Amino acid sequence: MIGWPGLTGLSVAVAALLGPSLFWSTPAAAEAPETTFARGVIVHSVDENGSSKVMRRTAQRLVDPRVEVLVDVTLDEHTALLLFDQPQPVAVAEDLAADLQVRSDVLWAEPDVLIQPTEVTLPNDPLFVDQWSLWEGGEDTDMSVRAPEIWGIDSGDPDVVIAVIDTGVAAHPDLAGRVIDGYDFVSDILMANDGNAWDPNPADPGDWVSAADINSGLFPESCRSVTPSTWHGTHVAGIAAAQWNNGYGISGAAPNATIQNVRALGKCGGFISDIAAAVRWSAGDIVIDPDTQLPLPVNTTPAQVINLSLGGQSACTRTMADAVLTARALGSVVVAAAGNDSLPVSTHLPSNCPGVVAVAATDATGARASYSNYGVSTGEIFIAAPGGSSSRGILSTSNTGATAPAQPSFDLKAGTSMATPLVSAAVALIVSGGITDPVAIEARLKQSGRAFAPTSSRACTEVTCGAGLLTFSLLADSITLTGERTQVRGRPGVSVEGKTLGLPAGELLTPYVKLPGQTAYQPGTGVRRVVITQGQVGEFDWQRRTGKKVYVYFRSESGEQSERVIIPANSASATGRPR
């Protein structure tokens, strides 16, 4: 068989403050080398053996006279590889493939190019190198969620809202443009520390506890330590959706999602009634202000994901259970920290409430974190994610103020509170792919857990830590749909009812995209929606603006291929029709 030198066959190929870090370095972006040549054209014919010598002679007439089509290699009963005498620019192979594809006996034809390893999308944020919970190289020893392995496909959608119900969020450059206002549900004026009870300003004024607070006798008995402000909500928000690729700070796990700032914790914590009201309001339910007895303004941007990095030792109360079930009925997924007491999760509210996605924490070795609560029966913990430890914390957005807000900063914390927003971010990515039913979302989320690493102590199991260690690359594999509507989203595959781009009805369709500067098609990149418009006409939305033409085609499960669609420069959508 004649091919490139060296090639044979077909090439396919709520946590403790640990303190700030001092110095940081800039990560190097991982770049996949470009493919610039093709060794031939793969032809799929209608009839068996339809790509034999006759096809080769046809190809020889069509190709540049200076190029010789030497032999054809049978790949299967319908498919053959037409080899050039020497590697040619991909443009030559593309032109030949396009000419062959117009033949009535050819279903599809495409260049045979060398496939390079999938590019890992690393941001240029200078502190990303210290975010081990997101990425630590991708090898077997990497106990992160491996977020860069999905970011090239899905980095979130601004229309997808994560409600962070916490201490509030302080202003921070790495959260600018990512946070929208929610509501302040801290009803106790002393605990609220902002001079009023429920109000429309959820910004974090600081939650420090002073000696005067303790000596006043006005705070709970459990609040007996002088502590600085934690900026806990700011930290959680940054883990979930801090800006990325802005040359500053860190990256969030779902960096294009939106955070809704909903405050329910103040000095010493928050009350169940306030937290439950915050859950219901975040999901879009009607909530009555206890002081005015009037309904609050309805949340006009109801959250698809509600993050609860909070809790305490208690059985699940009816108030909290009703709030969670109400949120689920309104389409929200409620994600809650398992707790930091190293006890069974059944002792910790709200992660022990029905309908909650309870999150355990792992450390940098992949073991269950020493503090993390755990499951005793299968299903009590849904999934695990990195929460850090005293030696390797989780880096995120913070503030230097010991009391009131001062300067934006970055800080390390550890706890199930830090693991939870990673899972909330994963849910946001699933929703960005078009899956909106909480049951379906949770089914996809469960598929994203990889096998736990064997460790010498505190090894996670399905019982103690849930479905596995959250892994974003597996999440990418799970973002597929079965076409219950005429408008769906999905990557890497989209299945629809009816015929899309001339392909068989009801089959899973995988989009293949070639971006500017690329010479090979990659599955799934950039396609956000497929819509059946009429008859055999299919339409999809293109999510990137490239400044140059982009090529897209779809392939069905049974191997049939649509026509190639050319997306004009700077276009946001395209329509394809079958030949």
Tell the burial category of 233 from Cβ atoms under 10 Å away from its Cβ (0-12, 13-18, 19+): buried
331: amino acid identity, one letter: G
Tell the burial category of 346 from Cβ atoms under 10 Å away from its Cβ (0-12, 13-18, 19+): middle
- DSSP string for 250-273: ---SSTTSEEEEEE--BTTB--HH
Distance, CA of 245 to CA of 354 (rounded, Å)? 38
Q: Answer yes or no: are the C-beta atoms of 172 and 399 closer than 8 Å.
A: yes
449-450 sheet: strands from edge to edge: 179-184, 258-263, 161-166, 305-308, 333-337, 356-362, 383-386, 469-470, 449-450
Q: Which of 139, 163, 162 is nearest to 255 (CA)?
A: 162
Question: What residues pair up with 263 in beta bridges, in sequence order?
Answer: 166, 184
* Catalytic residue IDs: 166, 232, 417
Distance, CA of 123 to CA of 26 (rounded, Å)? 10
Q: How far is CA 431 from CA 173, 257, 262, 427, in A?
A: 26, 10, 20, 6
Q: Measure the N-to-C terminal CA separation of the chain; round to a whole number of Å.
A: 34
Phi, psi of 192 (to 5 degrees): -65, -35
Radius of gyration of the chain (CA): 27
- 10 Å Cβ neighbour count for 60? 15
Tell the burial category of 520 from Cβ atoms under 10 Å away from its Cβ (0-12, 13-18, 19+): buried
- Write out the H or E segment, with its range, that includes residue 54: helix 53-62
Judged by DSSP in three states, 239 sits in helix
- Own/partner pairs, 56-65, CB within 8 angstroms, 24+ separation: 56/82, 58/100, 58/103, 59/96, 59/100, 62/96, 62/99, 62/100, 63/92, 63/96, 64/92
Kindly tell me the number of DSSP H helices and DSSP E strands found in the chain: 12, 27
